[in-house]
Structure 1
Amino acid sequence: MGYSLLFVLLLLSIFIKLCLAISLPPIEEQERDKITHLPGQPKNVGFAQYSGYVTVNEQAGRALFYWLIESPASRGPESRPLVLWLNGGPGCSSIAYGATEEIGPFRISSDGKSLYLNPYAWNNLANILFLESPAGVGFSYSNETSDLYTAGDQRTAEDAYTFLVNWFERFPQYKYRDFYIAGESYAGHYVPQLAQLVYQKNKGVQKPTINLKGFMVGNAVTDDYNDYVGTFEYWWTHGLISDSSYKMLQMACNFGSSQHPSMQCKEALRDAVLEQGNIDPYSIYTRPCNDTASLKHSLGGRYPWMSRAYDPCTERYSASYFNHPEVQKALHANVTNIPYSWKTCSGIVGDNWADSPLSMLPIYQELIGAGLKIWVYSGDTDSVVPVTATRYSIDALKLPTITNWYPWYDNGKVGGWSQVYEGLTLVTVTGAGHEVPLHRPRQAFILFRSFLENKPMPS
């Protein structure tokens, strides 16, 4: 009798282990990821939110953190497209910037505890999926510490693709839905690279699960040669540097012929930055937030003028909010108790960035040829990846013009300018800095709506 009981218990323990080993069905996984309420969230929020982890590499234990914010129920989320948003750095969090400073429905109050609504949130037009990428950024993690020191463009794209494949299994209702990728700054690399990977994997597939329709990037790192030329020209034409510094930069900086600038170029850049003085380079006409040590974006090795991060005082609110244990619990975040606090940008990931091609233009040519919808926008008061750099990069594609440069309007006022090329639309947003939706939320909303509807900017 004792033996049979022991046998039953043994079978029971094997059964329990097998049950634990089997992953939950998608609907149960979704329910597990559903956010019931965020601390400090306003009342009567009319949209569903989900967040959690998707493993992208079992062996290394790499898992990426996502936050899905659906369209309000009143706007029919089931019929709206899905948009993946990525921030750059490399090493900066899409939760810190995209979700809570730019296009998400919530803004964080200065107390670092409460949230208030953004009337121009992009989830009014689409279901928005924010991803902290690569592993080591924000809540995304790896069990192999070396992964944080060896991140680069290729692995970031591959992991993001694996994330999407696995995420669509968890959220099958989004399979075959119109899908777009958007982002800014160094996501000028992430976005086209991921779009290229999705496009190539979809080739020959009758009805692809990831139904990629196009992409959109803002103030995007695109092509080293044109980024250097256009940036120095912007500094000079906007009166930020002297004639002699401009000439020295043109002479000393070899404009993207190698991954890292020469010592002579670095010295010229240092002198130019000193001449610019205490401005916010990410938004040259707004006051810098002086009473905090500026965070460091990690592009400093490749683009030394980018080493001063954009800090309009909002970054510290997110650092405060997302480090609250109850916020992490509500988001199903930090489940492994990562041994460091959540940061808006990871210096380790960015400072040790491994691979970064000099140009994205060949990818643009491939995807324009594939017929994807591609929009590039630029806030015109950003001196870090300025509008001149973007215009030089697009000019290098030698695309035929369909609609020449024209002003677009919002309520009778010029909101910026646009030019429509064969296969690509360029839009500028007047008075906007590096983070266009932060500085010009209404105009950015109009831009996003026009992109989704594939209509030219209102003239």
Structure 2
Amino acid sequence: MGHYVSAVIFFFFLFVGLCTSSYLEDQERDRITELPGQPKNIGFAQYSGYVTVNKQAGRALFYWLVQSPASRGAESRPLVLWLNGGPGCSSVAYGAAEEIGPFRIRPDGKTLFINPYAWNNLANLLFLESPAGVGFSYSNTTSDLYTAGDQRTAEDAYTFLINWFERFPQYKHRDFYIAGESYAGHYVPQLSQIVYRRNRGIQNPVVNFKGFLVGNAVTDDYHDYIGTFEYWWTHGLISDSTYKILRVACDLGSSMHPSSECIKALNLAEAEQGNIDPYSIFTRPCNDTSSLRRKLRGHYPWMSRAYDPCTERYSEVYFNLPEVQTALHANVTQVSYPWRTCSNIVGIYWADSPLSMLPIYQELIAAGLRIWVFSGDTDAVVPVTATRYSIDALKLPTITNWYAWYDNHKVGGWSQVYKGLTFVTVTGAGHEVPLHRPRQAYILFRSFLENKPMPS
């Protein structure tokens, strides 16, 4: 009997050892030794690679994990999954490369510099290019690119998470949050709902999910339409007559299938707005900026640190460099098309998109999850008015009335705390809040993680 027990114990530890060595080998295979053009002595580890989400179709999603610096206690920091929207846009291009990631790309498209307000100083960041067909994520079934939609995107993202935690089991019991912006206003609540529902009834949930954070988020078609048209009109971007036409012609029930009259009115509104950057209405669009920057830099030293609207162009150069793709373990299937910040095919042929996320908000608020919504107030694409109408429709009791929050004795924006939801605006920020107001976005993220009100 003693020999039998000893044998069982031996084989148990042998099995555990094999499993441990297996996932450690997988992690090591995904480790990024160094990115081309990366600053030296960065003090944190990075991993990237693929996780298969559907073997039959050959769908695999690309991720990039940026750990917190060891000096900031990476081993105890939470894990945050970041998703960009579109639909069809890359979390590597936007979230990682120009918003919350540790590096920004220089105009040469070859070298990187440190982002002092990178969110990995506060949490371990997991960027996911989703769905398949976006960025480096791929499918061996071509029709997948033409049939992507909300439901499959959420299911694939959940499968990704479960499989990723098997590769990185040290994160299984960490506090876990999901964050994103724009059309991720759909992705984030939908994935949150799946995680929450599948965790129920499990004694030790696979995902230690605590809540979500969304910015300038597509939330509810009806309220988004009303709020967007109102924003254009109240900010002097369109005429009174066009505003009235939009209110009548556009079916406020669905943004997926606008009528021909609505499209005509939207084209008229776009013409009236002129050559502005609708994602940041008070900053110059990319095509006007480079010459301005050269002329003013000598007189205004801060210009070199100002918002650069051409960052997407730098991404398209950098992430197409063969040496960058090798360092990231990306494009392993050698696809025939270049890496792009957004996939037009995925976006144009988007299959399903529910009219509203508000029922999911109601369910997850009732579940007691932490939910924060933020909005840059110079975005004309998913403006602050749209978000306020959507939140108002939830009819939540107010805990703390509207108040100004501060950064260095200056107003950073405004906030209101509801029962189950916190809303924060960031003044002077466009659609990508961490790009336009990196310091204020950092303060916002820190407050979210600490579950504390914005500093007043």
CA RMSD of superposed structures (Å): 1.4
Structure 2 residue 312 is the aligned partner of structure 1 residue 325: no
Structure 2 residue 402 is the aligned partner of structure 1 residue 398: no
The one of 166, 171, 176 aligned to 1:169 = 166
Q: Which amino acid aligns with 1:143?
A: N
1:452 is matched with which residue? 449
1:352 is matched with which residue? 349
Residue by residue over 1:389-438, the C-alpha shift from the partner in whole angstroms, topping out at 9 and shown as x without a partner, is 00000000000000000000000000000000000000000000000000
Distance of 1:66 and 1:227 partners within structure 2? 30
After superposing on structure 2, the runs of 4+ consecutive aligned residues of structure 1 that deviate more than 4 Å are none
Q: How does 1:4-403 map to 2 (within 5 A)?
A: 25-257=22-254, 259-290=256-287, 312-403=309-400
Distance of 1:455 and 1:82 partners within structure 2? 18
Distance of 2:96 and 2:334 partners within structure 1? 23
Residue by residue over 1:57-115, the C-alpha shift from the partner in whole angstroms, topping out at 9 and shown as x without a partner, is 00011000000000001011110000000000000000000001000000000000000
Residue by residue over 1:27-50, the C-alpha shift from the partner in whole angstroms, topping out at 9 and shown as x without a partner, is 110000000100000011100000
Distance of 2:39 and 2:32 partners within structure 1? 14
Residue by residue over 1:87-144, the C-alpha shift from the partner in whole angstroms, topping out at 9 and shown as x without a partner, is 0000000000000100000000000000000000000000000000000000000000
Distance of 2:156 and 2:273 partners within structure 1? 39
Q: Which amino acid aligns with 1:262?
A: S
Distance of 1:363 and 1:24 partners within structure 2? 40
SS in 2 for 1:264: helix
Residue by residue over 1:159-184, the C-alpha shift from the partner in whole angstroms, topping out at 9 and shown as x without a partner, is 00000000000000001110000000
2:299 is matched with which residue? none
Figure out how many residues of one structure are paired with residues of the other and give that number. 421
Describe the shift of the 1:24–1:270 C-alpha distance in structure 2 as closer, same or farther (beyond 3 A). Answer: farther
Q: Is the 8 A contact 2:375 2:383 kept in 1?
A: yes
Q: What is the aligned-residue identity percentage?
A: 82
Q: Is the 8 A contact 1:288 1:311 kept in 2?
A: no
SS in 1 for 2:138: coil
Distance of 2:412 and 2:418 partners within structure 1? 20
Residue segments in structure 1 that go unaligned for 5+ positions in a row:
1-21, 293-309
Q: Which amino acid aligns with 2:26?
A: E
Describe the shift of the 1:409–1:230 C-alpha distance in structure 2 as closer, same or farther (beyond 3 A). Answer: same
Q: Which amino acid aligns with 2:269?
A: A
Describe the shift of the 1:237–1:376 C-alpha distance in structure 2 as closer, same or farther (beyond 3 A). Answer: same
Structure 2 residue 424 is the aligned partner of structure 1 residue 427: yes
Distance of 1:398 and 1:26 partners within structure 2? 47
Q: How does 1:403-422 map to 2 (within 5 A)?
A: 403-422=400-419
Q: Which amino acid aligns with 2:403?
A: Y
Q: CA deviation at 1:258?
A: 6.8
Q: Is the 8 A contact 1:35 1:330 kept in 2?
A: yes
Q: CA deviation at 1:254?
A: 1.6
Residue segments in structure 2 that go unaligned for 5+ positions in a row:
1-18, 290-306
Q: Is the 8 A contact 1:380 1:386 kept in 2?
A: yes
Q: Is the 8 A contact 2:221 2:255 kept in 1?
A: no
Describe the shift of the 1:24–1:274 C-alpha distance in structure 2 as closer, same or farther (beyond 3 A). Answer: farther
Q: Which amino acid aligns with 1:123?
A: N
Distance of 2:360 and 2:30 partners within structure 1? 35
Q: TM-score, normalised by structure 1?
A: 0.90
